[in-house]
Structure 1
């Protein structure tokens, strides 16, 4: 069997075990058993439990970013790009729940693996920040942008803050969606697609609708929430 195929078998098995048991509790014996190989062969290919886990984190994080970027057409308006990106994100996490658990949940609790997981989040934030800037540019063609925060530095900080909030909300929603097993009799593929559409729509209504108000100069203010009369 070609080395690449054998390594894929080992990584597939390792992802399932690490997702279910965590890094510390996962057994190399169990990983080898699920991969259908001997434990010495796992060590020959991946050298150590730490390197095996690192390889799993790297593979799963790269697969998620690739899925998101492939789902986005940069020629589309910013809101359409965000919708396509969100849908691709939720569809991938639904179809690869073990991979999501490995690099999002398991890796974040163990150094140095947390660094790799943080890098994926930084890439997501950068992607969304770029979309927010694109939305600003689109809005500028139709009217003035909202004034505060003043200056280029203030606007950059605001865009990054909005992107951080949106990515955090999407991560939280993905985790919740994976625990919500109501499929209504649908197949797994149908349930994944339906769930991805619903989650993406939730995020667009929650985040992009509010961002639209901000771009049109109607930001929420504490003064607006004061009781009247």
Structure 2
């Protein structure tokens, strides 16, 4: 399978000015982090550009230089984890891995991308009505690509005798949608570290797809 690349900005939004310039990137990132915290705490409707500006301690032109409006900021924040999640099965170096390992590694990447990008990864679950039709269409296109690739790899893994399941699409949707339920209960700094959470959820996803673990046989002296 050839690796697929996705655009680094949501459809219809301009690319960052002076992209690649370290100072410009840092300023833009600062705006995103402050806005992310406000969106997470107050929600989209209750967050204004004035609040973002005040929290940053800058002028409005400073923010508008990088973003058209708050929806631009919100969609940019959401786009990053969306791309990272739905490109979880795009491998460069691991093309030689058997199908079942690409599936398990891809699911682990998907789960890690969701947790690492908290809270912006959960915005689409929390406030789906905010996004423009063009954004939702692009998101659905990436999701279809992800699940088509996941289904193909799962069927290959089943043929190789390493995965055990009945309905391919239902099983793929069940395994891939597990991170989406994190929105309802996940909070950072809980009893488990983020990495421990990734490990536990990856185990659950692998059970859903019926991953067979081959036990190592001990050699007798």
Name the TM-score, length of structure 2 as normaliser: 0.68
CA positional deviation for 1:81: 1.5
Distance in 1 (CA, whole Å) between partners of 2:27 and 2:58 is: 9
SS in 2 for 1:23: coil
SS in 2 for 1:97: coil
- Matching residue of 2:97: 76
1:165 aligned onto 2:174: yes
- Separation in 2, partners of 1:180, 1:25: 23
- Residue of structure 1 equivalent to 2:9: none
Gaps of 5+ in 1: 149-157, 185-190, 213-229
Structure with bigger gyration radius? 1
Pairing 1:99–2:120 present: yes
Which of 159, 180, 191 is 1:183 aligned to? 191
Task: Tell me if 1:115 matches 2:137.
Answer: yes
CA-based RMSD of the aligned residues comes to: 3.3
Counterpart of 1:11 in structure 2 is 32
**C-alpha displacement of 1:196:** 0.5
1:1-229 maps to which residues of 2 (within 5 A)? 2-66=23-87, 69=90, 73-106=94-127, 108-112=128-132, 113-139=135-161, 159-172=168-181, 174-176=182-184, 178-179=186-187, 182-183=190-191, 191-205=193-207, 207-209=208-210
> What TM-score, normalized by structure 1, do the two folds share?
0.66
Q: CA deviation at 1:36?
A: 4.2
**Deviation digits for residues 59-96 of structure 1 (CA, Å, limit 9, x no counterpart):** 33223345664698332222222221222222222222
Q: Contact 1:57 / 1:116 at 8 angstroms: preserved in 2?
A: no
Task: Output the CA distance in 1 between the equivalents of 2:154 and 2:91.
Answer: 19
The 1:200/1:27 distance shift into structure 2, 3 A limit, reads: same
Greater fraction helix: 1
Where in structure 1 do 4 or more consecutive aligned residues deviate above 6 Å? none
Structure 2: how far apart are the matches of 1:56 and 1:182? 24
Alignment length, in residue pairs? 188
